[in-house]
Structure 1
């Protein structure tokens, strides 16, 4: 966990992470709830003066999820002057038993680098940071009100993910190692927020050259058991 009382961080620079997981039916993200406030926000953190940015983000992800070798994409930098809300930070700090005067650097304006991560929902062990009561999954279409510009960050991350569906393997880290076409389609539908034609989706995926076919998946003697697939390693 990052010690917010230290001054060994780069000034005015932060990161926020949109951590996507697929529950089997819904696309979800991890949100933290600050101590004694009922306020929600994305997990994030700061970058040490002797630390690479990506390394700091991966460390934050590992601390929040308990996972190693995590998929990570930097997608946008957020620097609007409106995102600076020192009164909100004072409330959060006081609710945590911290005197804002002890950490004046946290009341200053921050530019935040946005990342998104695609992870296996079933393997995550959500762990809140020192300012939070909880870190839990929320459906992407049922999010509580978020602090600062975090709603904008989520929207931008989701838009970026949708725009990259045809160029990145979105199922990596979000599905079992082997999966059915139906399961893959459900991931796409959850991300896009719309239904897809089964036949055309299957044709497009099989023609993409990105899938390797394996044995059929039998779940009780059905003669129409579907094949299992995995992503072709690149």
Structure 2
């Protein structure tokens, strides 16, 4: 415990010297796998308390570079599509006294940072490709389903809710090709969009819109082993799909 206390004190001393005070980043990592959306959380060392991955911005790095660094440290991913979605800057964001008691760290964080403004980023990843990694202050880094989130530290439940709202609104501008195998069926693509949007879509209208967008190439292969007529397999057209994403022209009101 003595070594841990010393390490924590040294960590916050370094942060105070290298980072911009009162300005932090909180990252909401949404993971898609087998038709479900989950979010990546950290459990603070020696407690049952969870929070989002986050950290402070180094004085010599850009805000976006800080977000990429924080996510790389927690996920191991080298290529991450990150979207800044909100600034959380209320004068009182959460009950600090209660939070510090729940964390139980051997430093007085309330004096180290009396108020912090947080820049929210979200990422949408295939969570099977993520290697969750805790840090010095945490014991675990794990996926949680959106339906079973605990009472998180700070104002992180609100941050997740705002991130999800923005993800759904900005979905036409978000690449989703990395969330599916190289070839997939139209129903599988529809289920992906339905999972992210949190609501069903009309199959006929979905098919018409996707076909009209030109983002898919139909292969000569069919998905075998289905209870109905074997559906064709598709792949994203690498020449068309990125442009459609940039324009945000594929939406499902």
Where on the TM-score scale, by shorter chain, does this alignment land: which range? 0.7 to 0.9
Cα distance between partner residues in 2 of 1:158 and 1:207: 27
**Is 2:22 the partner of 1:12?**
yes
Query: 1:212 Cα shift?
Result: 3.0
Q: Is the 8 A contact 2:185 2:231 kept in 1?
A: no
Computing the radius of gyration over CA atoms, which structure comes out larger, 1 or 2?
A: 2
- Displacement after TM superposition at 1:93 (Å): 5.6
Matched with 1:162 is 168
Counterpart CA distance in 1 for 2:107 and 2:146 is 34
Task: Give ranges in structure 1 of 5+ residues lacking alignment.
Answer: none
Is the 2:99–2:153 Cα contact (8 Å) retained in structure 1? no
Distance in 1, Cα, partners of 2:218 & 2:192 = 18
**How far off is 1:119 after superposition?**
1.1
* Distance in structure 1 (CA, Å) of the matches to 2:108 and 2:158: 27
SS at match of 2:178: coil
Give 1:128 shift: 1.3
CA distance in 2, matches of 1:207, 1:218: 22
Alignment partners' CA distance in 2, 1:142 and 1:121: 17
Cα distance between partner residues in 1 of 2:147 and 2:116: 28
Q: Following TM superposition, by how much is the alpha carbon of 1:99 offset from its aligned partner in structure 2, in angstroms? A: 2.6
User: Does 1:110 pair with 2:116?
Assistant: yes
Q: 1:192 aligns with which of 193, 197, 206?
A: 197
Name the Cα RMSD after superposition.
2.4
The match for 2:143 is 137
Q: Which of structures 1 and 2 has the larger relative contact order (alpha carbons within 8 angstroms, sep 6+)?
A: 1
Distance 1:183 1:170, change over 3 A: farther
Query: 5+ residue gaps in structure 2?
Result: 1-7, 244-253
* Counterpart in the other structure of 2:242: 233
Contact persistence 1:30–1:136 (CA under 8 A): yes
TM-score by length of 1: 0.87
Distance in 2, matches of 1:48 and 1:125, equals 24
CA shift digits 1:144-193 (9 cap, x unpaired):
1122211111111111111122x224413322343322222122111221
